[in-house]
Structure 1
Amino acid sequence: MGELRTRKRGKTWEYSFEGAKIDGKRKPISKGGFRTKADALNAGIKAKAEYDSGGRVFTPSAISLSDYLDYWYKRYASKLTYKTQDTYKNHIRLHIKPYLGSYRISSLEPDVIQEWVDEVLHSQKKLARQSIANILGVLSGALNYAVQPLRYIRSNPCIYVKIPDIKVDKKAKDHTDFVLSKEDWKQIKEYFSSAPESHSYLFFPLIVGYHTGERIGEIFGTDLLADYNPVRHTLSVSHQLQKQKGILLYTNPKYDSFRINKIDSLLEAEIQKELKRRECDRLRYREYYKNTYLLPDNTIVQLPADSQVPDSYQEIWPLGVKQDGTILTTEHAKHMSRIVKDKVGIELFHPHCLRHTHGTILAQSGASPKTIMERLGHKNIKVTMERYVFNTEEMQNQAVSLFENAIK
């Protein structure tokens, strides 16, 4: 490209240089308004360097991993869901930058990354194998982007790195793989049927999770006005509820897994019961009841029942609310979990086990893997069968009986 030039225009200075030709004609790039020639020259040098490097303000071969990750996060990760962004940001801040951030990406070798995995993530931090895989995955994804489409480096050094064999913590595995038995569920129902008012409002989301296998965010993201269809006996998964920087909003379900699930008569009876309870609560609290509204930007607000509401506000009935209409969020699932552990005595309970339990019951009862996959909103059957359907004792007994009958 052409040389950088400066000139005085009136009382201020301007820089200019020649850009790429458009339709065969020269395209000058300039900016004025600088107080001195030196100011114009310095700004011009910076602008021309950025232009010549395709909009980058750095030399790819010299950039540190720390600065590159900032660049990658802004260009790529910022397009992901808020929850994924937050996870990536924490992995970068806590695990990657403090140990590898000072390296130039062009000099980052597999042995350096392998040492970081072995000595820092495994030996010092004692992270679980899956946690290490997730953190390494963020780094590898960022460096893949540096290979293509950016072409800052020729190959990704992470592809040669191996995650160490880590013995599975049996207690942790038992917790992760926990599936509720019929007796467990009976005990949970018995407790909540006579629980104090401060606990009872948590039971309905728990029931929905048990009967549908929906993700926690999807449960709390259900709008009973729009998503429940009493004629077709269905419950739609249209949103998940998230909190971003203290603001509640509806976002698409994970993997955009919009779906309409048939529901059983027991769940439908509970939904009807909940709707009647809510009508009674509205009469009980009157103007102090909190109505919930969805705004055009998908944020959620709550206003007293006697408030003047703009036309753009769409009233919704969140699946989970307290007696006064206060909306429940995914954070209340932690409270639900503590109650089941402390009051019912099921130590291994966690909210996600409702999803495992639903998938396992369906498989145990003969539902096809594809039906289970679609009901749970998975991308493929492998995830469903490996992570969400567990080989219970009843299923093992069925397998033995099938084999025995086959060879008689």
Structure 2
Amino acid sequence: MSKIILSSRNALEHVHVRQRGSKWSYRFEKAKVDGKRQTVERSGFATREDAQLAGIKAYEDYQHGIRQGNSPDMSFADFLDIWFERTKLDARNNTLELREKNIRLHLKPALGSYRLTSLSPQIIDGFVRQKRQDGYSYETVDRMLSNIKVALDYAIWPMELLKANPAQLIKVPGKNFAELSRRRPRRRIENDELVQLFDHFPFGNTYHMPLALGLYFGTRIGETLGLSWADCDLDARELHIRLQIQRLSMRGHHSLHYLCDLKTESSHRTLAFDSEIVLPLLRRWRQQQRANELAYGEDYFYNYILPAKDYQGRPIQKIVSLEKCYPAPGPRLDLICTQPSGKYIKPCSLSYQCKRIREMGIRDFDFHCLRHTNLTMLGESHASLTEIMTRAGHSDAKSTMTYVDSRLEMQERPVQMITKKLKHIL
């Protein structure tokens, strides 16, 4: 009975136990709802003391707002399920895909059997080091550790199951110069390489317009492929970046592509363009699309937006391509970047072409290099940091500067300025 004596007097007064046959049960009253009494009762305990202890704990959990099933004694695997379900609405689909995969393939097999409260810095550090020893890259293990840290932060608040985060100070080992040097760096594509690129993908080729727009505007791959003619004001020479195409991998089903909002509020931007290069290019391409439609006839495809749901049940705008002879199943999406047949271009198809471009000899190329090249060109032309940030759709200078290479051309203006100041002194 000593264990019971140590429990709170308040709980002892409210928890009642009784014997039913050979088993014992506990019972206590919760707050009234609409004036009616609400009772909690559990049975099946071997002794009176077992029933009393369980009842006291259940009552104290109730008093402190701990929901049943959210016990600090739960396994880390069960907690990860709770965390994943309750944070679905706060994350984008791509983030959730990676998170679900990390939980299923890595976190649960290695750490799921531990009690949530028994996870220690030593255990988590051992997990991280073992993953590195197994050959996983620094970035991959860092994402796993990030999932652990964010989940355990949720256990602290608002769940109130932990008082401190045991993963808070854990670092992924092996972030050294040798590893960083092996990663493919994004770089400014040189002018002669750009000439080679567009010789290989001339006007009329499926990938000419995405590559040209990505280079001129510095747009991301999803933003580029999601541009519609409704976003393009040829008279005002403005392009409105407001949506993007993303791929959704549905487990057990074929993947689909959908139109969604941009990553951040600052990504929404209006980009001006010139009347010498881009305006004639867009007009020429618009005419080419119409010529393609005439050439393909009834076999030409229109793109539509249909309502669908992602694997969390959230509404999305699915993109489908249908021959023009079929009735329209939904609003038409008049995209700028299309295949000659009219179909939309998938991001994965464009990424595959980037692999072919690397095989052509343009080293380290991916679509994001065009964005890197665009912003570095602006720096070479002595555009202000604010101007570069605006074109990039960044909200902070730090993000922008990671895209701008330090080039010798950028020293021309500072040299002129310092020469003007010092020419009468030195």
Matched, 1:362 2:383: no
* Alignment equivalent of 2:366, drawn from 350, 353, 358: 350
CA distance change for structure 1 residues 110 and 55 in 2, over 3 Å: closer, same or farther? closer
* Alignment equivalent of 1:259, drawn from 269, 277, 281: 269
Give the Å deviation of 1:83: 0.8
* Alignment equivalent of 1:189, drawn from 195, 198, 211: 198
Query: Does the aligned pair in 1 maintain the 2:214–2:220 contact within 8 Å?
Result: yes
Give ranges in structure 2 of 5+ residues lacking alignment: 1-13, 19-26, 45-53, 308-315
CA distance change for structure 1 residues 60 and 178 in 2, over 3 Å: closer, same or farther? same
Query: Does the aligned pair in 1 maintain the 2:186–2:365 contact within 8 Å?
Result: no
Partner of 1:63: 74
* Alignment equivalent of 1:150, drawn from 148, 151, 159: 159
Deviates more, 1:200-209 or 1:95-104: 95-104
Counterpart CA distance in 2 for 1:29 and 1:292 is 58
Partner of 1:123: 133
Would you say how many aligned residue pairs link Structure 1 and Structure 2? 373
SS at match of 2:167: helix
CA distance change for structure 1 residues 290 and 397 in 2, over 3 Å: closer, same or farther? same
Counterpart CA distance in 2 for 1:4 and 1:54 is 22
Matched, 1:335 2:352: yes
Give the AA of the match of 1:63.
M
Q: TM-score if structure 1 supplies the norm length?
A: 0.82
Deviation digits for residues 135-181 of structure 1 (CA, Å, limit 9, x no counterpart) = 222211111111111110001112221333522336534x3232111
Deviates more, 1:253-262 or 1:398-407: 398-407
Give the AA of the match of 1:83.
N
Partner of 2:324: 305
Q: Where is the helix percentage greater, Structure 1 or Structure 2?
A: 1
SS at match of 2:320: strand
Counterpart CA distance in 1 for 2:245 and 2:161 is 38
Q: Which structure has the larger Rg?
A: 2
Partner of 1:287: 298
Give the Å deviation of 1:19: 4.3
Deviates more, 1:292-301 or 1:250-259: 292-301
Query: Does the aligned pair in 2 maintain the 1:2–1:19 contact within 8 Å?
Result: no
Deviation digits for residues 181-230 of structure 1 (CA, Å, limit 9, x no counterpart) = 12211121222238xx7xx2111101110011111111111112x11111
Matches of residues 92-131 of structure 1 in structure 2 within 5 Å?
92-117=103-128, 119-128=129-138, 130-131=139-140
Partner of 2:210: 205
Query: Does the aligned pair in 1 maintain the 2:304–2:331 contact within 8 Å?
Result: yes
Give the AA of the match of 1:201.
T
Give the Å deviation of 1:95: 3.2
Deviation digits for residues 51-74 of structure 1 (CA, Å, limit 9, x no counterpart) = 949684524221111111111000
How many percent of aligned residue pairs carry the same amino acid?
Answer: 28
Query: Does the aligned pair in 1 maintain the 2:244–2:260 contact within 8 Å?
Result: yes
CA distance change for structure 1 residues 234 and 2 in 2, over 3 Å: closer, same or farther? farther
Counterpart CA distance in 1 for 2:244 and 2:17 is 53
Give the Å deviation of 1:398: 5.3
Deviation digits for residues 226-269 of structure 1 (CA, Å, limit 9, x no counterpart) = 11111211111111111223222111011242221112331222
Partner of 2:172: 163
* Alignment equivalent of 1:274, drawn from 261, 278, 285: 285
CA distance change for structure 1 residues 63 and 339 in 2, over 3 Å: closer, same or farther? same
SS at match of 1:316: coil
Counterpart CA distance in 1 for 2:153 and 2:180 is 35
Counterpart CA distance in 1 for 2:272 and 2:131 is 44
Counterpart CA distance in 2 for 1:26 and 1:170 is 65
Counterpart CA distance in 1 for 2:192 and 2:404 is 19
Give ranges in structure 1 of 5+ residues lacking alignment: 6-15, 31-36, 39-44
Partner of 1:41: none
Partner of 1:238: 242
Q: TM-score if structure 2 supplies the norm length?
A: 0.79
SS at match of 1:367: coil
Matched, 1:376 2:392: yes
Partner of 1:248: 257
Counterpart CA distance in 1 for 2:214 and 2:126 is 42
Deviation digits for residues 15-54 of structure 1 (CA, Å, limit 9, x no counterpart) = x98542246x225479xxxxxx99xxxxxx9xxx799496
Partner of 1:222: 227
Give the AA of the match of 2:32.
K
